[in-house]
Structure 1
Amino acid sequence: MTDITPKPPSENSLPDNFDPFEHLQKIYIPQHNALVNRYFSDLGDDWKPNIASPRSALRVACTMVDNDNQLIMSLRHHLLFDLLGYGRKNLATFYGSSLDAALPVSGHPQLFLYFSQDSQAVPANGKRLDHEKSCRLTRYACKTGQALPAITKANLLDIAREIKTQFVEGKKGIVYTSGKVAVSYTDPPNGFPRGGRWLVNSKSEAITLYQKLSNVIDRPFDINKINVITPEKDSTTQTSTQTETVLGKQYKEPVYRPITNLRFRKAYVAFGGSVPPIFLIDTTYRNTALIT
């Protein structure tokens, strides 16, 4: 048989006449007013409520009293923490400059150029080396309805023809020599937001490549925005003979920035999202491109 005898309240139970809002007021108001006193400490410890001065009027407006309802408490809190800015006190100091932020380029189409070794130059059992370089077409927007004009097929054809002029000779892509020298070019407004490095064997060759790419996107080239890093460690000039074991299989250890020739193969434009890329030119003929 079920025992229905009333049990005495435990020590942790709330009283029968417990009022949650009144309890919250008793806890919240002293905490809030302590912050008000600190914020207006310039008015002195013996300050009495008055609206004789702008500071005193603000303190009266911020100070909570027992007969405040929920709306008035919320307004007093909002006035102190948001409008007067107490909620921003003692935050971590920001060191730096807003000028350090790169120009947002996500709304612009992105042009990719792909380079790789000729197949006959790949060592036996070696890995084919390649490199992909990209920049943004900052003269255009990806889609209509933006501040800049949306890129058109005619624009893409012009870019494709200029790529052919700059990076194709005798129906083959031009070749540059990759090596240990890392050269970057940072010019956010003109399409180079992060200055991704181009590994080359000499600074002059990188400058030529960046000049060609700037010509393709019809943007000025500024040699003062070139940055060159030449590590002390020399390039690996031959295939590594050392091996490493991963998951029970042996692989050759990677070589360090080898000196090798990389040939231009293809170029395409990406728009982000679900939009498929458009190939502008492809010397491998594996993709349908705008021009041959």
Structure 2
Amino acid sequence: MSLPENFNGWEHLQKTYMLEYNRRVDKFFSDVQGNGDLSNVRSSLKLACRLVDGDNEATWSLRTSLFFDVIGYSRKNLSIFYGSNIDTALPVAGHPQLFLYFSQDSQAVPLNGKRLDHEKSCRLTRYACKSGQSLPAVTKANLLDIAHEIKAQFVSGGKGIIYTAGKLSVSYTDPANGFPKGTRWLVNSKSEAIELYGKLCNVIDRPFDINKMNVNTPEKDSTTQVINTTDTILGKQYKQYAYRPVANLRFRYAYVSFGGSASPIFLIDTTFRNTALIA
């Protein structure tokens, strides 16, 4: 089919680019209603990122640079290193490792405060990382099942569930079922830890045993998230960190790591920054 006589290639390119670009902006800011406003940080960012008819070349460049470079959308799916390259082998080494990441909503971070986050992991002891071992190697179908279970347990209404972090340090030790010694969850109540560990056990299809849980309650109280006190080290001043502040953390994404040089596989990502097995 031939192009119309009055076809303008540059105008067609602009309209196509704008349509596809704004579609990605809308997906990234899916938690924001409409095209954005000035009511909160994310809504304001969406308003600043979306291309609109009438933008001049400078505005076009600033909007796309803000979205792709500053916010970092263009860096998704790049090779990212997780963990430390001097980690020693754990008793559950050889099994894929499942990570769940949680963080504060940006609008909940106090002025001059630090955004809090937490990452929790366990091992998929039903599977091996690679073939040739006594257990079956994990397959894409296995990971899809786990991804759907994560969505059922940790996502509600299209958003990650929220738990309240605090000063209680709760560990769960069951190496045979994927929980080696040394991991912990900082929570504000024991009941919340029971619910979170129960959900994680459901995800990996392992039994939850409350007798394998250990709760440590420090005498020191949680401090506020914003600390004005500073320490002087080698002549430089550094702000002190808040001690286990009480804050709401939301589930963001989950991925599986296989160790070595293999890239992690994202199972689900509510931030849309990484290509995941399920939406």
1:164 paired residue among 134, 148, 151:
151
Tell me how far 1:194 sits from its aligned partner. Answer: 1.4
**1:51-200 correspondence to structure 2 within 5 Å:** 104-200=91-187
Partner of 1:243: 230
> Contact 1:173 / 1:264 at 8 angstroms: preserved in 2?
yes
> Contact 1:141 / 1:150 at 8 angstroms: preserved in 2?
yes
**CA distance in 2 between partners of 1:167 and 1:220 (Å):** 18
What is the TM-score when the length of structure 1 is the normalising length?
0.63
> Contact 1:103 / 1:188 at 8 angstroms: preserved in 2?
no
Higher relative contact order (CA 8 A, sep 6+): 2
Q: CA offsets, 1:230-287, max 9 Å, x none? A: 0111001341111234576543210100000000000000000010000000000000
The aligned amino acid for 2:145 is D
> Contact 1:103 / 1:189 at 8 angstroms: preserved in 2?
no
> Contact 1:115 / 1:262 at 8 angstroms: preserved in 2?
yes
> Contact 2:164 / 2:246 at 8 angstroms: preserved in 1?
yes
The aligned amino acid for 1:206 is A
SS of the counterpart of 1:269?
strand
1:282 paired residue among 263, 269, 272:
269
2:239 paired residue among 242, 246, 252:
252
Q: Which moved more, 1:139-148 or 1:244-253?
A: 244-253
> Contact 2:113 / 2:225 at 8 angstroms: preserved in 1?
no
**CA distance in 2 between partners of 1:228 and 1:275 (Å):** 35
**CA distance in 2 between partners of 1:123 and 1:249 (Å):** 24
Tell me how far 1:136 sits from its aligned partner. Answer: 0.2
Partner of 2:278: 291
> Contact 1:103 / 1:193 at 8 angstroms: preserved in 2?
yes
Tell me how far 1:103 sits from its aligned partner. Answer: 7.8
SS of the counterpart of 2:192?
helix
Stretches of structure 1 that go unaligned for 5 or more consecutive residues are 1-101
**1:219 maps onto 2:221 in alignment:** no
**1:230 maps onto 2:246 in alignment:** no
Larger radius of gyration: 1
Q: How many residues align?
A: 191
Structure 1 residues 143 and 109: CA distance shift in structure 2, 3 A: same
> Contact 1:187 / 1:195 at 8 angstroms: preserved in 2?
no
**1:206 maps onto 2:184 in alignment:** no
